Amino acid sequence: MHLAFWTERFRTWVAAKTLGRRLIAVALSGLMVVGLTSCSLDQFRASAARTSQLVVSFSENPKTFNASLSAEQPSVFSFIYEGLLSENGLTGELEPALAESWEISEDDRTIVFTLREDLRWSDGELLTAEDFAFTFNDIYYNEAIPVNGRDGLRVGTQGLLPEIKALDSRRLQVVSPEPFAPLLRTVGQIAPMPQHILAETIEQKDGDGNLLFLSTWGVDADPQEIIANGPYVMTDYQPNERLVFERNPYYWRKDSEGNAMPYIERVVRPILTESDASLLQFRSGGLDAQGVSPANYSLLKKEEERGDFTIYIGGPASGISFFMLNLNKGSRSGVPLVDPIKSRWFNTVAFRQAIAYAIDRGTMINNLYRGIGAPQYSPITVQSPYFLSPEEGLKVYDYDPEKAKDLLKQAGFTSNSQGQLVDAEGNQVRFTFTTYTGSPTVDQIAAQIKQDLGAIGIQVDLQFVTFSTLVDKIDNTMQWECLFLGFTGGVEPNGAANLWLPEGRLHMFNLEATAGQEPIEGREVADWERQIGDLYIRAAQELDETKRKAIYAEFQQLALEYLPLIYAVNPIAMAAVRNKVKGVEYSALNGSALWNIYELKIEAAE
């Protein structure tokens, strides 16, 4: 079954000898490393001879430089911002970052963080507890700002937010209105925003009556005007070409000998959405890291010694890949978001279950992942202590097309003389399956899903769009039928509250309109949907770990019974990194070779 299957596959793979938690959409190919034009490569190679430099790709053009408005990966923010605490990429444990210490009250509802002395923003201004209070109270708690992370801070059935205030310049007090198990992790990992720069954008409005903040630090802003507090600052952004980061001279970390960190002075991130070009550039020696897929593992393994790199194998990937049907029954200006005929199919539980049984994950694993993977069923990360395995009773959907057909028959669907599935009114079952461009693996997954569903009579029309277009369909138009996505994961399930709470900003399969958007009439929340939301609230309030695990087990069972998300395959996370890059500690939990970027070094060529 699931865990046993993983263990055996992983052992075989090794013997034979992708990178808050917030849940955000990601490409499945892991760490993407892409090439520059030959002219640009020559330029940066010459520069690298004088400067300690890392070249590693960025797989999409940034959507925003405003961290609080971002809801996707990749993003620039892990390089330029840091919170009170950081998460160890290997263990998932919380570690001091901007806060040197913290005290928790006996009832676990109050935390007082003490910031390090003399913290500064990248412009040299002091970073204080007031910046954190401003970030929470004026930005994250501001209903006029569509902040993705706000949902993960809500406590209890009323959705109350923790009270946050600066006691003085270095002490920040957080008081939860009710018990809230993930309080430390959630508050601790939200990066501050500079009050001295952004306060006036919260107070002022543009000509359309919107807060000036909403248009502040868009991708058209000068990167050098983005005030940061992390290991790097942005110095250049050329759309469709590159991002450049330089070491932040005001970053707080120093090593045991008092040397400034990070050690690497510059990070160049060329932008390319196609993974094939990335692989070619890495093999030619021009790039420093590359995500390794099962499809290119054998090729890269043969070149490991000649190319002077190491392939790191991190184990089962912590993210999830899935496709979903649009369950929103609402309309805008009298126009349904989903064709009412298709909406009836999509909102039939047996229809979704039949689709889950019709997907041949075993063939997907063997053909697309070279046997290096496992069927994925749970919405909770494998590495999380709250993960429920099939051996522990999780409902699974092993490939069974006959069972799929039987479920469809019981739901009133039949096959016509051409072998096409039709509903009780004779409507052919046909819908559009949309996903993003740039990943050969995703292309193949989509093609197999089309084939598998075709085998039970469902016609699937594939549609490939840019990731930004996909996000627009989800967040703005909400007019789509079936989408395929990948999401990041983490050890704390409450990080996905924005996905599972019916009012959540990432409740994509039945999203409600946000402030400023055209309202939706007729949106309905199903009983099971509300029950899942209630379980998420209860789990966050439960401080007893045994009881908390039981609540998340019940959630996983409901999620697999009603299938708002239909899961695909969990691959092994791997990355290839040049041996000149020292200090790499790769793991599947973080999914990145760069999570500890501040302590990586580039070994000088002899």
Angle made by CA atoms 576, 299, 279, in degrees to the nearest 5:
55
Angstrom distance (rounded) from CA 576 to CA 509: 35
**130-148 average pLDDT score:** 95
Tally the C-alpha atoms within 13 A of residue 508's C-alpha that lie toward its C-beta. 26
Residue at token pair 């890269």: 300
Q: How many CA atoms lie within 13 A of 263 on its CB side?
A: 16
- Alpha carbons 566 and 572: distance in angstroms, whole number: 19
**Given this model, what pLDDT does residue 191 score?**
96
Euclidean distance between CA atoms 150 and 153, whole angstroms = 5
Angle in degrees, 0-180, between the axes of helices 349-358 and 401-410, rounded to the nearest 10: 160
Distance from C-alpha of 507 to C-alpha of 518, rounded to nearest angstrom: 17
- What residues form DSSP beta bridges with 374? 570
Which of 201-205, 253-257, 485-489 bottoms out in mean pLDDT, i.e. has the lowest?
Answer: 485-489
Specify the pairing of strand 266-270 against strand 232-238.
unpaired
Place of tokens 């052919």: 428
Average pLDDT over residues 338-343: 98
Is the pLDDT score of 41 beyond 60? Answer: no
Q: Above 50 in pLDDT, residue 19? A: no
Per-residue pLDDT, 10: 28
Closest by Cα among 161, 490, 481, 112 to 325? 481
% of the chain with per-residue pLDDT over 70: 91
- Give CA–CA dist 289/34, Å, rounded: 9
Tell me what the pLDDT averaged over the chain comes to. 88
Query: Which residue ranges does the chain devote to CATH 3.90.76.10?
Result: 85-199
Look up tokens 């306060």; give the residue.
Answer: 199
d(CA 211, CA 63): 19
* Residue 596: count of CB within 10 angstroms of its CB: 18
pLDDT value of residue 3:
28
Q: Are 337 and 360 in contact (CB under 8 A)?
A: no
Distance CA 374, CA 365 (A): 7
pLDDT value at 438 more than 60: yes
Residue 521 is classified by DSSP as B
What is the CA angle 480-486-489, rounded to 5? 130
Cβ atoms of 183 and 174 within 8 Å: the answer is yes
Q: Return residue ranges of the chain for CATH 3.40.190.10.
A: 6-80+215-317+572-602
Check residue 43 and give its pLDDT. 52
pLDDT digits 0-9 by tens, 86-110: 999 888 899 999 999 999 999 999 9
pLDDT in tens, 185-197: 999 999 999 999 9
Residue 262 CA to residue 82 CA, distance in Å, equals 13
pLDDT for the residue 30: 37
Q: How confident is the model at residue 431 (pLDDT cuts 50, 70, 90)?
A: very high
Q: Inform me whether the pLDDT recorded for 116 exceeds 50.
A: yes
CATH of 6-80+215-317+572-602, one of 3.30.70.100, 1.10.10.10, 3.30.200.20, 3.40.190.10: 3.40.190.10
Helix (H) / strand (E) element for 399: namely: none
Three-state SS string over 412-475 comes to CCEECCCCCEECCCCCECEEEEEEECCCHHHHHHHHHHHHHHHCCCCEEEEEEECHHHHHHHHH
CATH superfamily, region 85-199: Dipeptide-binding Protein; Domain 1 (3.90.76.10)
Alpha-carbon span 547 to 453, nearest angstrom: 39
> Using CB atoms within 10 A of its CB, is residue 149 exposed (0-12), middle (13-18) or buried (19+)?
buried
Confidence of residue 49 (pLDDT cuts 50, 70, 90): low
The DSSP bridge pattern shows strands 459-465 and 601-602 to be unpaired
pLDDT for residue 118 is more than 60: yes
Is the pLDDT score of 440 beyond 90?
Answer: no
Strands 53-55 and 266-270 come out as parallel
pLDDT of residue 563: 97
Which tens digits make up the pLDDT trace of 280-308? 889 999 899 998 988 889 999 999 999 99
Q: Which residues contact 602 (CB under 8 A, 6 or more apart)?
A: 52, 53, 54, 263, 264, 580, 581, 582
Q: Residue 605: what pLDDT? A: 66
- pLDDT tens-digit series, residues 222-254: 999 999 999 999 999 999 999 999 999 999 999
3-state helix, strand, coil in the chain (%, to 5): 35, 20, 45
pLDDT at 57: 86
Q: What is the mean pLDDT of residues 550-579?
A: 95
Share of the chain above pLDDT 90, in %: 71
Average pLDDT for residues 472-488, to the nearest whole number? 91
pLDDT of 18 reads 24
What residues have CB less than 8 Å from 345, skipping those under 6 apart?
351, 423, 429, 431
User: Do 248 and 597 contact (CB within 8 A), yes or no?
Assistant: no
Mean local confidence (pLDDT), 324-330: 97
β strands within 92-176, DSSP E? 94-96, 99-104, 110-115, 163-166, 171-175
pLDDT classification of 50: cutoffs 50, 70, 90: low
Residue 110 has what pLDDT? 98
Find residue 245's DSSP bridge partners.
234, 267
**pLDDT confidence tier of residue 588, bands split at 50, 70 and 90:** confident
Question: Is 586 in a helix, a strand, or coil?
Answer: coil
Q: What is the DSSP letter of 484?
A: E
pLDDT-derived band at 7 (thresholds 50, 70, 90) equals: very low
What's the confidence (pLDDT) of residue 318? Answer: 87
Q: Which of 47-51, 149-153, 333-337 has the highest mean pLDDT?
A: 333-337
